[in-house]
Amino acid sequence: MKRRRDPAAVNSDIIRRPIQRCAPIFLWPMVAAFCIGFIWPFAQGLFLSFTKFKTTSKWTWVGLDNYVKALADESFRYSFGYTALYAIVSVILINVLAFAVAYALTQKIKGANLFRTVFFMPNLIGGIVLGYIWSMIFDGLLSGYGKSILTDSTWGFWGLVILMCWQQIGYMMIIYIAGLQAVPEDMLEAAKIDGANGWQTLFKVTIPNVMPSITICMFLTLSNGFKLFDQNLALTGGYPYIINPDGTSVHTTEMLALNIYNTFYGQNTGARGVAQAKAVLFFILVAGLSILQLRATRDKEVAA
Amino acid sequence: MKDNAFKMAEYGKKALTAFLALISIAYVFPVFMVVVNSFKENTFVKTETFAMPTGESFVGWANFIKGMTFGGYPFVNSVMYSVVITVLSTALIIVVTSMAAWYITRVDTDFCRAVYYLCVFSMVVPFQMLMFTLSKTADNLGFNTPWTIPVIYLGFGAGLAVFMFVGFVKGIPLDIEEAASIDGCGPLRTFFSVVLPMMKPTLVSVTILEMMWVWNDYLLPYLVLDITEYRTLPIHIQYLKGSYGTVDLGATMALILLSIIPVIIFYLACQKHIIKGVAAGAVKG
């Protein structure tokens, strides 16, 4: 990006001019698809969140009405709390366990490659399929007690946590291994010579050095946690429901993404404006968290 | 003293290996259960999930045969559509975004920067934000068949690919391309025979990441495609389990097994690239 001002920039005109003439081949296909697949739907979605609509072409302006309704919706607030709780639990568990596994695998033990292969394997399987594999396992465990994962919301929560740990530990482990392998050997040796014990070395030398990996993994697990949809849909689909006396219902294991989906495609097509407003709030939340978290952990990297 | 410490460390390592082996078995267990249950008669899947299929619960290949036409939809079709969509989308994303990334980095006008920052921005936007409008747009423009949906994947998934490619192109010294252009290479030739071969590591990473995403993606094709006609594997499996009155668990497990076998073979064959790709993608993301 700073290339223009450095001396080499003069030469790069040799390259820039001819490429610029080829914009229709190089740039326009991507920009066109990007407009269709991202920019236009995003702008339209933002706009429609301020309207009442059933289809994208028939709308009436209602201002902030949808946002008021979305925030007043009990099921939406419930799913927000549920998602936040899930995200906190899963971020901590996944990162601690993935780091521990990565640390163990970098201790020059036998069969490290085989273990790595096994732990990463669940990432290749899609969320829907994972959900159904685990619903079979949990139902098998619970059937002895006359229960099912669909009837017990406590199991629904921990079931999802177990499933996601099973899937994501391997992914984060790969990133932590890459980080751990980059810790300078002489630093570790110096710590040993200075008489630091294992824990001291871990907390004073190793962890500060893998801060970049920790940043990335925290960021990934947090945003994965908030955006989770497929596994939630396949494992419990929001069940069990609690039906309120006034006819509304709360889906006790429903996360934000699924709640938005159900509002869009539920029987009440009049609620699509509200669903779009929920989606905008969801977007602001996810984007905001990503930015905040990156900033917070970047600061720590500098300090370390 | 020293000898003892050394021995302790050796024992520690052995204990660690044993412990990791135990966890590995626990890791493979769910997949193993899928294999076991795909040979069981439906009712036994729920009542005796963890038992081996013996005697009356064992049905041989019946679940697999039944699964082929299960739910009134040929399983082979969903395999075919999944393959078509994954291969076309990945190929399109790779070619188009790598070209765009090179253009963006080398030409570097304000417009290029705007496109680049929009791509980065698109990476933090969750799918729910635009799922309704995107599926309507795709419908209206005819991008709702397995052969045209790759355009939608390109548009929605361009962000990460452009971001990774730009990151790589920035590190390529200009001299090589200058030499090529002085020798009379036009931009197209420079790109395809000079720049693209240098991009290989990133190319592999992006291919892996995009393939993993498209192959396993459920919601986008579900909302965009006409699912009476076109079902990808995740859609088919969700349809069988989700909206069917009486679910045949045995046959569902057989289909799940069939759908993960090729993925696991692919993984074992390209393991090194996959793991490298994930690490590279994450470090840049």
Is B114 or A147 the better-scoring residue by pLDDT?
A: B114
Residues 6+ apart with CB under 8 A from A152: A142, A240
CA A40 from centroid of its chain's CA atoms: 24
B167 in the same domain as B31: no
Q: Which residue of A has its CA nearest to B121?
A: A287
> Is the residue at A121 inside a domain?
yes
DSSP 8-state secondary structure symbol assigned to residue B28: H
Looking at the complex, report in whole angstroms how far the Cα of residue B13 sits from the nearest Cα belonging to chain A: 6
Check CB contact of B124 with chain A, cutoff 8 Å: yes
Q: Does a structural domain hold residue A11? A: no
Q: Please check whether residues B49 and B138 belong to one and the same domain.
A: no
If asked whether residues B54 and B90 sit together in one domain, one would say no
Residue ending a domain, among B67, B88, B121, is B67
Identify the pLDDT of residue A253.
92
Q: Single out the residue of A65, A253, A51, A273 nearest to residue A263, CA to CA.
A: A273
Average confidence (pLDDT) over B53-64: 82
What is the distance between the alpha carbons of residues A87 and A252, in angstroms, rounded to a whole number? 16
The region, left, alpha or beta by phi > 0 then psi within -120 to 50, assigned to residue B53 is beta
Burial B75-113 (b: 16+ CB within 10 A, else e): beebbebbebbbebbbebbbebbbbbbbbbbbbbeeebe
Per CB-CB distance under 8 Å, the chain B contacts of A55 are 136
| Residue A90, in any domain of the structure | yes
Of A12, A121, A287, the CB nearest to B267: A121
Q: Could you tell me if residue B133 is inside a domain?
A: yes
Total number of domains constituting chain A: 1
Q: How confident is the model at residue B89 (pLDDT cuts 50, 70, 90)?
A: very high
Q: Which of B37, B78, B128 to mutate to test the interface with A (most CBs of A within 10 A)?
A: B128
For residue B78, being part of any structural domain is answered with yes
- Is B108–A287 a contact, with Cβ atoms under 8 angstroms apart? no
Q: Residue A40 domain-assigned?
A: no
Residue A92 is predicted with a pLDDT of 96
Helices (H), chain B: 2-37, 42-47, 62-67, 75-107, 110-122, 131-141, 149-169, 174-182, 187-189, 196-198, 200-216, 219-224, 233-242, 249-284
CB–CB contact B187 A26 (8 Å):
yes
Asked if residue A279 belongs to a domain, the reply is yes
Q: Are B140 and B201 in a shared domain? A: yes
Question: Please, which pLDDT band fits residue A173 given cuts at 50, 70 and 90?
Answer: very high
pLDDT at B143: 94
| Helix B131-141 vs helix B149-169: crossing angle, to nearest 10 | 110
| Closest residue, chain B, to A34 (C-alpha) | B155
Question: What does the pLDDT look like over A176-204, one tens digit per residue?
Answer: 998 999 888 888 888 888 888 888 888 88
Write down the mean pLDDT value for chain A.
87
Q: Using alpha carbons only, give the angle A87, A203, A158 rounded to the nearest 5 degrees.
A: 25
Range of the domain at B106: 74-247
For testing the chain A interface, which of B33, B36, B98, B132 should be mutated: the one with the most A CBs within 10 Å?
Answer: B132
Q: Which of B16, B187, B274 shows the shortest C-beta gap to A109?
A: B16
Q: Would you place residue B1 in the very low, low, confident or very high pLDDT band (cuts 50, 70, 90)? A: very low
Write the single-letter amino acid at A157: F
At A165, list the tokens: 């740990």
Mean pLDDT of A4-23: 67
Residues B241-276 pLDDT 10s: 765 556 788 888 999 999 999 899 999 998 888 888
Band (pLDDT 50/70/90 cuts) for residue A304 is: very low
Shared-domain flag, residues B43 and B130: no
Identify whether the C-beta of residue A168 lies closer than 8 Å to the C-beta of residue A98.
yes
- Could you tell me if residue B34 is inside a domain? yes
Q: Is residue B26 domain-shared with residue B96, that is, in the same domain?
A: no
Say whether residue B114 is in contact with chain A using an 8 A CB cutoff.
Answer: no
Domain count, chain B: 2
Residue B267 contacts A where some CB pair is shorter than 8 Å: yes
In sequence order, what are the residues at sequence separation of 6 or more whose Cβ sits closer than 8 angstroms to the Cβ of residue B189? B180
Percentage of chain A beyond pLDDT 70 is 93
Say which CATH number the domain at B116 has. Answer: 1.10.3720.10
Mean pLDDT of B110-120: 93
- In a domain? residue B91: yes
Contacts of B119 in chain A (CB under 8 A): 34
Q: What is the pLDDT of residue A185?
A: 87
Q: Is residue A8 part of a domain?
A: no
Return the residue matching tokens 């064959």: B269
Whether the predicted pLDDT of B284 surpasses 80: no
Residue B19 has pLDDT above 80, yes or no: yes
Choosing from B34, B49, B67, the residue where a domain stops is B67
Helix (H, G, I), strand (E, B) or coil at B58: strand
HEC secondary structure over chain A: CCHHHCCHHHHHHHHHHHHHHCHHHHCHHHHHHHHHHHHHHHHHHHHHCCEEEEECCEEEECCCHHHHHHHHCHHHHHHHHHHHHHHHHHHHHHHHHHHHHHHHHCCCCCCHHHHHHHHHHHHHCCHHHHHHHHHHHHHHHHHHHCCCCCCCHHHHHHHHHHHHHHHHHHHHHHHHHHHHHCCCHHHHHHHHHCCCCHHHHHHHHHHHHCHHHHHHHHHHHHHHHHHCCHHHHHHCCCCCEEECCCCCEEECCCCHHHHHHHHHHCCCHHHHHHHHHHHHHHHHHHHHHHHHHHHHHHHHHHHC
Residue B272 lies in a domain: no
Q: Looking at the predicted structure, is the pLDDT value of residue A257 above 90?
A: yes
Q: Are residues B63 and B83 in the same domain?
A: no
Residues of B in contact with A257 (CB under 8 A): 126-128
In a domain, B255, yes or no: no
Domain span at residue A273?
Answer: 73-303
Say whether both B43 and B97 belong to one domain: no
Residue A56 C-alpha, separation from nearest chain B C-alpha, in angstroms: 7
Q: Examine the domain organization and report whether B39 and B97 are in the same domain.
A: no
> Do B13 and B62 sit in the same domain of this protein?
yes
Measured between beta carbons, which residues in chain B are less than 8 angstroms from residue A29? 96, 99-100
Lowest mean pLDDT among A14-23, B79-88, B191-200, B230-239: A14-23
Assign residue A249 the CATH number of its domain: 1.10.3720.10
End-to-end alpha-carbon separation of chain A, Å?
Answer: 28
**pLDDT tops 70 at residue A71:** yes
> Among residues 165-194 of chain B, which lie with CB inside 8 Å of chain A?
174, 177-178, 181-182, 186-188, 190-191
Is A3 within 8 Å of B266 when comparing Cβ atoms?
no
Residue A38 lies in a domain: no
Distance CA B279, CA B283 (A): 6
Q: Supply the pLDDT for residue A290.
A: 80
Instruction: Provide the CA A98 distance to its chain's centre, in angstroms.
Output: 16
Average pLDDT, integer, range A246-254: 85
pTM of the model: 0.90
CA closest to B151 among chain A residues: A33
B106 plus B216 within the same structural domain: yes
Residue B258 lies in a domain: no
What's the CA gap between A60 and B45, in Å, rounded? 51
pLDDT at position B221 over 70: yes
Q: Are B43 and B168 members of one domain?
A: no
So what's the pLDDT on residue B3? 61
How does pLDDT run across B59-86, given as a tens digit for each residue? Answer: 888 888 888 888 788 999 999 999 999 9
Q: Please state the rounded mean pLDDT for residues B19-38.
A: 92
Residues 6+ apart with CB under 8 A from A114: B24
- Is the Cβ of B43 closer than 8 Å to some Cβ of chain A? no
